[in-house]
Amino acid sequence: MAANDVLTRDQIDAELAALPDWRFRLGGLAAALKCPTSAAALELFAAVGALAQEANHHPDVDWRYDTLFVALTSHDAGSKVTARDAALAKAISAAAREAGAAAHPELLRSVEIAMDSADFTAVAPVWAAALGFKAGEPDELKDPSGRLPTMWFQQTQTPNANRFHFDIHVPASEAQGVLAAVEAAGATLDRSNAPEFVIATDVQGNRLCICTEEGRDA
């Protein structure tokens, strides 16, 4: 299948309605699959690899003891979600059921590092050289290996005193629990941009954003 099979956000949501193990985040599909044992996780890892080879479409898989974190996106389509991703997600979920694995979407968290800057083009090359990152979108730097958090620059003529903040991406289905925990820990919450993101500020004035897939394009 060619790289013209990119799904719209409405199409992604329709696919996800039949994929309860999966969530849309950061331009891809993601699942956390917890197995009964570490050995079962390794067997599922091998099954995912076989499915990927058969489909000639390869996910990113992170094995952590009894849990596999699987991310699907189509690099040949500009790192967008395609019909191939949805088809492979269905196959992986079927393999997970056979392995006795259960989905744990509450484990799906990703971090991006944001920097306020009045002119990010003046500073981005320094960070790219230090981190070994490449330009992604015009205002972001990405790890070519996909291991480290994306760094993006928030263009503003009034940079915050704390120029850095974390964008912590969680599934929308889990966001309210995360926000309640953050607030209970002492943060104040600015919900004016919810549900896309909520700004949390700790007692020392440091900021972070709890972000979801809601309101985001495919």
Q: Is 47 helix (H, G, I), strand (E, B) or coil?
A: helix
- Residue 105 DSSP class: G
**pLDDT value of residue 217:** 85
Give ranges for CATH 3.10.180.10 in the chain: 108-211
Give ranges for CATH 3.30.1360.20 in the chain: 9-106
Task: Look up the CATH number of domain 9-106.
Answer: 3.30.1360.20
Work out the pLDDT band at 218, boundaries 50, 70, 90. Answer: confident
Convert the pLDDT of each residue in 28-78 to its tens digit. Answer: 999 999 999 999 999 999 999 999 999 999 999 999 999 999 999 998 888
Q: Is 74 helix (H, G, I), strand (E, B) or coil?
A: strand
Convert the pLDDT of each residue in 175-210 to its tens digit. Answer: 999 999 999 999 999 999 999 999 999 999 999 999
Work out the pLDDT band at 3, boundaries 50, 70, 90. Answer: low
Above 80 in pLDDT, residue 110? Answer: yes
Fold of 108-211: 2,3-Dihydroxybiphenyl 1,2-Dioxygenase; domain 1 (3.10.180)
**pLDDT value of residue 1:** 45
What value does the mean pLDDT take over residues 130-138? 91
Among residues 113, 131, 215, 106, the alpha carbon closest in space to that of 168 is found at 113
142, HSE (Cβ side, Cα atoms, 13 Å): 10
Taking CA atoms, 65 is separated from 36, 108, 116, 146, in Å, by 10, 16, 37, 20
